[in-house]
Structure 1
Amino acid sequence: MQRTGINPVFDSLSDPARRRLLRLAGAALAGGALPRLAHGTAAAPAPAAPAPAKAAPSAATPERGGTLVALAFPEPSTLAFHVNGSNPNLLVTSKIYDRLFVNGNDGKLVPRLALSAEESKDGLAWTIRLRRGVTWHDGHPFGADDVKYSIETMWPRSMNSSFTAVIERVTAPDPLTVVVRLKEPWPVLVNYLGSNSGVIMPRHLYEGTDLVTNPCNNRPVGTGPFVFKEWQRGSHIVLERNPNYYLPGLPHLDRIVWKVVNDSASRAAMLETGAAHYAARNPVTFSDAARLRQLPGLALDTAQYEPSTYWLEFNLRDPLLGKPAVRQAIAHAIDRAALVRTVWGGYGAALDAPVPSGLPQYVVKDAARYPFDPRRAEQLLDAAGLPRKAGGWRFRLVHDFIPFGDDYRRTGEFVRQALRRVGIDCVLGGKDLSTWTRDVFTGRQFQMISSWGSWMPDPQSSFDIRYGKRGDRVGVPWSKVSGYSNAEIDRLLDQTRSGVDRAARAVNYQRVQRIVQADLPVLQLLEVRFFSVVGRRVHNIDEFPYQTRNNFANVWLSKA
């Protein structure tokens, strides 16, 4: 059996021992326990942000019942991950749909719909054993056909192109077994089985329908701990306890109500007064965060987020942004440290490299750098034949920032002012989320966007999405939109896809970074240190990492 090349302790075991460990984890979970399936490496701790207040420890016995009021912003455009896998969507639907596995805080895989995943000796097949007795929320039995359908039909529509690219075929030899056969050995496959792209969808409700217009997209039917009840757009989304959830005694909560609140001051007031118990991903301004974290009834959680970066992506089809000198000038014009300090309240770190510090084994130190240097920016623009004209402007540039809230708009304003200082008449697009998503990912109607994304412990998928040929997926949100193409990048990423030689992967990833940092189709600005605001009545919110993936089955509310 091939080794994963990810977890040294796990890799040190003999092949039979590793397979036995995977099977035993699943067998234990079948009895209701929650063991950890050995796998992966947890992301390295982020550089220190303002210290969060400590959440109250959970009592020994969870209390049953209650309604968790959480804040949703911006409102999801859909509740279908295969249409738009954005974080506003995943934060809600991760409670409705379960995945085969989830990632634990220790970096190991935790079984959910699946009990085990076993790799063949030649590394060309993975056998996934499923849990018995699971039903969809409409009462239809869950089984291997659902998993086969999801992998073959739904997963290719998500960002997870690294996974689907290596699959030769998927078979379901019996109702509780799925066999994934690969074109080549790919030991890091298990990393993707617990990712947010690995949602299992109901075959009986989607097969033979239009996947974009299917009514289940906005009235989802899952297998998770909470059942969709209603969605009043602009107001709220209600999820209710699944009485037939497959983990005995769970969930603890009676319901979750997601309140749609687009104004940050209103969100802060609701959290302060207890009208809301929970909000994720920087729900309030940083000045409000400093105030709220001092209150006895609230805590700020910064630990439960994956390494994430915020970037500018250029449309290389544009005659101006197709010039490397223009992209380099933009890089030199922006003071990243000041951006982190003034806009992001210190909840981040300036970044002048493709890979964040949370993946230290892959960080490259000798790639091109673009320090803050407005004079150098002006020199590059002059040399490119773009001098200042009457009024002091060189050219006009539209920046369509991702419309996820105040922090993102203020980032757009910061970039606008930085570019205007070197003679670029930068204006902000200001589109709503649906329009922005359509124009950027389907129409390619933009000059420059700002967006963000998270990184898995193995960066293959992120490199594919941002720089490789597998990222060219028109109509798939958060795929590559720059139009960048480099045959050497594609060759290097194809070589790393097998994952067998860990040392070779690291070398190739460093080569990729050197090339893309010189070509600069994407300009990384900062590492984001997201925070959540959590009421102290809320327990087990940190049971698993990555709150947009946590299904909240074990979250509970104390009476006081």
Structure 2
Amino acid sequence: MGFNRRQLLRSSAGVGALLFVAACTDNADPSGPARRGGTLRVGALGTAARIERDPHANLSNDSDFLITSLVYDALTVPGDKPNTVARLATSWEPDAAQRRWAFTIAEGATFHDGAPVTADDVVWSLRRLRSVGGASKMPVAAEDITADGPNRVVLSVPEPNTQLPLLVRLMTFTVRKDTTDFTKAIGTGPFRLESFQGGNARLVRNENWHGAGVEPRLPLLDAIEITMFESVTALGNAVLGGQIDLASNVGAIAGRTAEGRGDLRVVRRANDTMLGVAMRAADGPFADPRVRAAVRLGVDRKALVDQVHSGYGTIANDILGTADPTYDSSIPQRTRDIERAKTLLREANFDTGRSYPLVTKPEAPGEVESAKVIATQLADIGLRLDVVEQESNAFYDRTWLQAPLYTVSWGTNDSTIFYASKLMSSASNRNETAFKDRDFDAATTAALAAADPAELERSSRRVQAIQHERGGYLVWGMADGIDIATSAVRDLPTLGGFGRVQLERVWLA
């Protein structure tokens, strides 16, 4: 998982020392030491119908998540080695039973209005996150989130859990206690909100950020202007045409176009985004594991990577968390077997005389195209799919967590246990495939409780084996994250997934 045992059980490094590790920046073309100043114009994907100002709600727009992550601080954030590093919490330590974790708030942390951050603010925020987002976003019950003095917060869980700092990454944004109006966006992050209109925002440097470190103090930019684009094509054209300095997560087509441009740089972030298909396992046409196996055998993964990602990616093996150091590469790579897939459908008495909707959405680059390619490929095994494209608003209201078959995308694929706990355990409120398996739940619980690296790896591999054998996902490939920036932009993050939103170290030459 990227931890040694000491790092896993206790983190005591200050946030300033860890930010470099967390950012994992690109220095392909340095031009002297980093310096402060300038305004970075960033484009990110989003739709007007899904604009969300509440930091604890479902932030399905990339643009909203970027704004929120720069204005507010989570307790912990993704890193490289280790894969969980400090943000608002500068240290964390469990008790001997691994059931009570104490997080220490950064010394001197203040909100953008100058008020100090207290344990009461953090407790209130985490309890609200549990209420708004459920257990998948905050895996600790509200009554088990308590303050221990002015700058320590305690999270208690009923079973041993060595992975809690990992599970509270990203979404644990802290707001002032009793906040009800999020339009002012008073956070603790490296940038503060100056203006917001129609999904677009201007952020300016927080001169008093607790993570500023030594000279040159962070963040380096004077301001970041974020523009929301409703299509990958529009986002790509904006950076190619010079309207923005950085196109975040713009996808492969624009990346190929920009490769030959001397005034632009393409930043590739490996293992960035999983594109796949959720198959409902509890009931309906895909409940029989033989049918799900047939779907997985019916696709040509290499062709999907080549066609959907233009080669900017790798094939996957129906397991979430491909960048996890405990990822089990000994599990045989599933390959296309049309005849075996047909046999499985016959054995399951699957009705091939009708067609089935495959619902998709224009959210991740290539997601809609992947649905069309999959539908074409699965026709070869006798499975007829009608691709239904929905806008994000309709998708999350009517399809997600409900439909028998739909496309999904997830980033930050550095932990198999993170996804097992968040998306596949029986108790998860974000169980996209309605997958309920006692052996899987037991293996996940054992992995969360593992105090020994060897036991963690054994349990993680059991989780992966079950997911590969009978889980609810078709995970056919991993897309490289593609950012395009002008040649003046320096030190962009290179971590996969949502590590890309950590822009406090970026500077302009």
Q: Bigger shift: 123-132 or 160-169?
A: 160-169
* Alpha-carbon offset, residue 184 of structure 1: 4.1
Segment drifting more, 482-491 vs 171-180: 171-180
Instruction: Determine helix, strand or coil for the equivalent of 2:116.
Output: coil
Q: In 2, are the aligned partners of 1:240 and 1:255 still within 8 Å (CA)? A: yes
Partner of 2:407: 450
* AA aligned opposite 1:275: Q
Residue 251 of structure 1 corresponds to 219
Kindly provide the CA deviation profile for residues 460-506 of structure 1, in whole angstroms up to 9, marking residues without a partner as x: 221123321132x1xxxxx2122221122222222222121332232
Residue of structure 1 in register with 2:45 after alignment: 73
- Which entry has the higher C-alpha Rg, 1 or 2? 1
Distance 1:115 1:271, change over 3 A: same
Could you list the per-position Cα deviations for residues 370-416 of structure 1 after superposition, in whole angstroms to 9, with x for gaps in the alignment?
Answer: 4212233333334443466xxxxx22111112421551111111012
- Which of 482, 486, 500 matches 2:451? 500
Aligned twin of 2:258 = 292
Which whole-Å CA distance do the structure 2 matches of 1:223 and 1:131 have between them? 11
For 2:90 and 2:282, the matched residues in 1 are separated by 47
Q: 1:412 aligns with which of 366, 371, 378?
A: 371
The 1-side partners of 2:469 and 2:423 are apart by: 15
CA distance 1:547–1:278, shift in 2 (3 Å):
farther
1:7 to 4, 7, 29: 4
The change in CA–CA distance for 1:465 and 1:118 in structure 2 (over 3 A counts) is: closer
What is the letter of the counterpart of residue 316 of structure 1?
A
Structure 2 alignment gaps of length 5 or more = none
Q: 1:118 to 1:327 in 2, by over 3 A?
A: closer
8 Å CA contact 1:117–1:126 kept in 2: the answer is yes
CA distance in structure 2 between the aligned counterparts of 1:139 and 1:114, rounded to whole angstroms: 18
Q: In structure 2, what is the Cα distance between the partners aligned to 1:38 and 1:261?
A: 29
The answer as to whether partners of 2:493 and 2:502 remain within 8 angstroms in 1 is no
Task: For 1:169 and 1:453, locate their aligned partners in 2 and report how far apart those are by CA, in whole Å.
Answer: 29
Counterpart residue number, 1:486: 437
Q: Does the CA contact (< 8 Å) of 1:104 and 1:545 recur in 2?
A: no
Match of 1:115 in 2: 90
Change in CA separation of 1:544 and 1:119 when aligned onto 2, cut-off 3 Å? same
2:394 to 412, 429, 435: 435
Aligned to 2:418: 461
Establish whether residue 274 from structure 1 lines up as the match of residue 242 from structure 2: yes
**Counterpart of 1:270 in structure 2: which amino acid?**
A
Letter in 1 for 2:374: V
Post-superposition Cα deviations, 1:60-92, rounded to whole Å, max 9, x if no partner, equal: 14131x321111213353133422143613222
Local SS of the residue matching 1:178: strand
Q: What secondary structure sits across from 1:342 in the alignment?
A: helix
Cα displacement (A) at 1:417: 1.1
Counterpart in the other structure of 1:236: 200
1:398 paired residue among 329, 345, 357: 357
Q: Alignment partner for residue 338 of structure 2, among 369, 374, 394?
A: 374
Q: Name the CA distance, whole Å, in 2 between partners of 1:236 and 1:153.
A: 26
- Separation (CA, whole Å) in 1 of partners of 2:420 and 2:163: 15
Q: How far apart are 1:131 and its partner, in Å?
A: 2.8
Q: State the Cα deviation string for residues 67-121 of structure 1 (Å, max 9, x = none).
A: 2111121335313342214361322211111123434444365543233223345
- The 2-side partners of 1:91 and 1:61 are apart by 22
Aligned partner (choices 18, 32, 37) of residue 36 of structure 1 = 18
State the alpha-carbon separation in 1 of the partners of residues 60 and 205 from structure 2. 24
TM-score in terms of structure 2 length: 0.87
Shift in alpha-carbon separation, 1:410–1:420, aligned structure 2, 3 A: same
Aligned equivalents of 1:63 and 1:456: distance in 2?
32
Closer, same or farther: CA 470–331 of 1 in aligned 2, 3 Å: same
Once residues 268 and 55 of structure 1 are traced to their aligned partners in structure 2, the CA distance between those partners, rounded to angstroms, is 22
User: Residues 151, 428 of structure 1: CA spacing in aligned structure 2 closer, same or farther, 3 A cutoff?
Assistant: same
Cα distance change of structure 1 residues 311 and 554 upon mapping to structure 2, 3 Å threshold: same
Structure 1 residue 55: Cα displacement: 3.8
Give distance in 2, aligned partners of 1:396 and 1:312.
17
State which drifts further: 408-417 or 319-328: 319-328
Point out where structure 1 has 5 or more consecutive residues left out of the alignment: 12-17, 44-52, 207-214, 389-393, 474-478
- Kindly report the root-mean-square deviation, in angstroms, between the aligned alpha carbons of the 2 structures: 3.3
Contact residue 301 and residue 531 of structure 1 kept, 8 A: yes
The aligned residue for residue 191 of structure 1 is 166
1:320 corresponds to which residue? 285
Number of residue-to-residue matches in the alignment: 501
Hey, what's the Cα distance between the residues in 2 that align with 1:247 and 1:205?
A: 24
- Deviation, 1:331, is 1.8
In the superposition, relative to structure 1, how do residues 333 and 125 fare at CA in structure 2: closer, same or farther (>3 Å)?
A: closer
Preserved CA contact (<8 Å) 2:3 2:81: no
- Is residue 423–residue 431 contact of structure 2 (8 Å, CA) maintained in 1? yes
Identity of aligned residues (%): 22
Cα distance in structure 1, aligned partners of 2:192 and 2:7? 37
SS of the counterpart of 1:421?
helix
Tell me: CA distance 1:538–1:327, structure 2 relative to 1, closer, same or farther (3 Å): same
Post-superposition Cα deviations, 1:273-303, rounded to whole Å, max 9, x if no partner, equal 321111222x1442x3223122122111113
1:329 aligns with 2:326: no
The answer to whether the 8 Å contact 2:73/2:189 transfers is: yes
One-letter amino acid of the counterpart of residue 454, structure 1:
G
Q: State whether residues 111 and 117 of structure 2, in contact with CA within 8 Å, keep that contact through their aligned partners in structure 1.
A: yes
CA distance in 1, matches of 2:503, 2:365: 27
CA distance in 2, matches of 1:184, 1:327: 32
CA distance in 2 between counterparts of 1:247 and 1:360 reads 28
**Counterpart of 2:139 in 1: which secondary structure?**
helix
CA contact (8 A) 2:42 2:244 kept: yes
